[in-house]
Amino acid sequence: MDRQPTLFEDRRIYSLFELAGNIREVLREVYPDVYWIKAEIAKLNFYPKSGHCYVDLVDKQDMVIRAEMRATIWASSYPMISSKFRQQTRENLRDGMSILFLASISFHEVYGLSLNIVDIEPSFTLGEMAREKRETIEALRKEGVFDQNRKRILPLLPRRIAVISVESSKGYHDFITTIRNNPHGYVFHCSLFPSVLQGEQAITTIIGQLRNIARECARFDVVSIIRGGGGEVGLSAYDNLRLAREVAVFPLPVITGIGHSTNETVVEMVAHTNLITPTAVASFLIERFKAFEDRIDSLRDVLTADARQIMEDSLSRLETVYHRFHSATHRLLERHLGVLMNSSEKIGIFSRHIIQKQGHDLEVYQEKIGLLDPKNILGRGYSITLLDNTPIRDASLVRKGMKIKTILFEGTLDSVVD
């Protein structure tokens, strides 16, 4: 009987190791050289102990990942690559950064496909950073918020300051030292809101602190974002659209002092006031107080001089008016004194005439009154009869037996009516 073949005898079967080896050989034959590749760093892991750097790379289109691959920068290459990149871009290699790199393609039976990065072209990343900066500016202008914070009214004397910085940084130390030890003795109230100030984390932490300040913005006059000691490294975060928009629309004036003098970032462009260093920010705030004090002193001097001049002019005018009034009064008194004396004499004559006439009239009245005196009437033989001390004018009022009294010129008579 013939032996039937087993189920797998007619198939070519590879072990996983053999297949991986074949793939490695094929890749070596097809991609024998090094190649320039562009991608975005999704995750960068540097291990100081070994010196190796492991990078997760992605290729996105419309925010959708369409390719993903691992890469390695060996310890022999990493110091040179990172140093050159930092010198030209003023940035450290970091997550979210687009890079153009030179790499070989390798395949390992255990670790799979990866890229070995041997060089990175900083100019490509600079171009990408410049493109992001342009796009951020265009987006903010399109939204109509690019100039919004610059139009905020800076208080005349901003003394309540919310500071976004790192407490241990030299920049924050310089700021606090300058503002507290100002030679004029001005008092400022500074509240620190700690934040990462460079790299990818700066975007989220600064935004978070800005929102914390906004929730209690009535406590503050201004916000200051200050950063020092890091030179120009790590500034691309300040071109980020989300962070720049947060600063642009912030309800309080934002003053920046992030410690560099070239390549103004978008955050600095949209901030109310941009100064080079934290010390310059402190000096700016102090100078506002000093300028106000100088204006007050100047106004005081002007007011004092004007008041003195007004008093001198008024005194001079008052003396002139006094002399004129005194002279006019003297002439008026002299002129009217004669009139007054003449009038007094006339009044005296007229008064004596009136008195004489009234005296004569009084004598006539007294004579007439005397003629009407009841005694004079009684003296001519008349009498007055009284009933109950009331003169009797009608005889019908008297009855028999009534007692009456008769008043004569000399004496009285008491009678009874019969």
Please indicate, yes or no, whether residues 78 and 161 belong to a single structural domain of this protein. Answer: no
**Among candidate residues 280, 282, 254, the one with its CA nearest the CA of residue 268:** 254
pLDDT reported for residue 346:
78
Please indicate, yes or no, whether residues 166 and 246 belong to a single structural domain of this protein. Answer: yes
Among 275, 290, 305, the domain boundary falls at: 290
Please indicate, yes or no, whether residues 150 and 273 belong to a single structural domain of this protein. Answer: yes
8 within domain boundaries: no
Please indicate, yes or no, whether residues 161 and 238 belong to a single structural domain of this protein. Answer: yes
Please indicate, yes or no, whether residues 203 and 280 belong to a single structural domain of this protein. Answer: yes
pLDDT of 226 over the 70 cut: yes
| Rounded alpha-carbon distances, angstroms, from residue 398 to 389, 401, 405, 407, 416 | 13, 9, 12, 17, 10
Please indicate, yes or no, whether residues 233 and 275 belong to a single structural domain of this protein. Answer: yes
pLDDT of 215 over the 60 cut: yes
194 within domain boundaries: yes
Please indicate, yes or no, whether residues 211 and 281 belong to a single structural domain of this protein. Answer: yes
pLDDT tens figures, 10-54? 678 888 888 888 888 888 888 888 999 999 888 999 999 999 999
* CA–CA dist 76, 347 (Å, integer): 134
Please indicate, yes or no, whether residues 101 and 157 belong to a single structural domain of this protein. Answer: no
* CA–CA dist 201, 234 (Å, integer): 11
pLDDT reported for residue 182:
94
Please indicate, yes or no, whether residues 154 and 220 belong to a single structural domain of this protein. Answer: yes
3-state secondary structure 276-297: CCHHHHHHHHHHHHHHHHHHHH
Among 271, 290, 309, the domain boundary falls at: 290
Q: Would you tell me how many other CB atoms lie within 10 Å of the CB of residue 155?
A: 14
- What domain count does the chain have? 3
How high is the mean pLDDT of the chain?
87
Please indicate, yes or no, whether residues 268 and 246 belong to a single structural domain of this protein. Answer: yes
User: Which one has a higher pLDDT value, 262 or 182?
Assistant: 182
- Per DSSP, 195 falls in state -
312 within domain boundaries: no
pLDDT reported for residue 374:
72
Q: What is the span of the domain harbouring residue 87?
A: 16-130
Please list the residues that pair with 53 across neighbouring strands.
46, 73
**CA-derived radius of gyration, the chain:** 59
Please indicate, yes or no, whether residues 108 and 163 belong to a single structural domain of this protein. Answer: no
**Among candidate residues 198, 181, 195, the one with its CA nearest the CA of residue 235:** 198
| Rounded alpha-carbon distances, angstroms, from residue 266 to 20, 136, 195, 413 | 49, 7, 19, 138
Among 257, 290, 323, the domain boundary falls at: 290
DSSP class per residue in 102-113: EEEEEEETTTEE
198 within domain boundaries: yes
352 within domain boundaries: no
User: Which one has a higher pLDDT value, 6 or 67?
Assistant: 67
What is the average per-residue pLDDT within 107-133? Answer: 88
CATH number at residue 35: 2.40.50.140
- CA–chain centroid gap for 285, Å, is 14
* CA–CA dist 167, 150 (Å, integer): 27
Does the predicted model carry a pTM greater than 0.75? Answer: no
Q: Which residues contact 353 (CB under 8 A, 6 or more apart)?
A: none
Q: Would you tell me how many other CB atoms lie within 10 Å of the CB of residue 243?
A: 24
CATH number at residue 282: 3.40.50.2300
Q: b or e along 395-408 (b: 16 or more beta carbons within 10 Å of the residue's beta carbon)? A: eeeeeeeeeeeeee
pLDDT tens figures, 238-265? 989 999 999 999 999 999 998 665 678 9
257 within domain boundaries: yes
Proportion of the chain above pLDDT 90, given as a percent: 43
371 within domain boundaries: no
Please indicate, yes or no, whether residues 120 and 151 belong to a single structural domain of this protein. Answer: no
* CA–CA dist 317, 312 (Å, integer): 9
307 within domain boundaries: no
- Tell me which range, 86-100, 128-142, 312-326, 367-381, is most confidently predicted by mean pLDDT: 128-142
Kindly state the helix (H) or strand (E) to which residue 370 belongs, with its residue range. helix 278-371
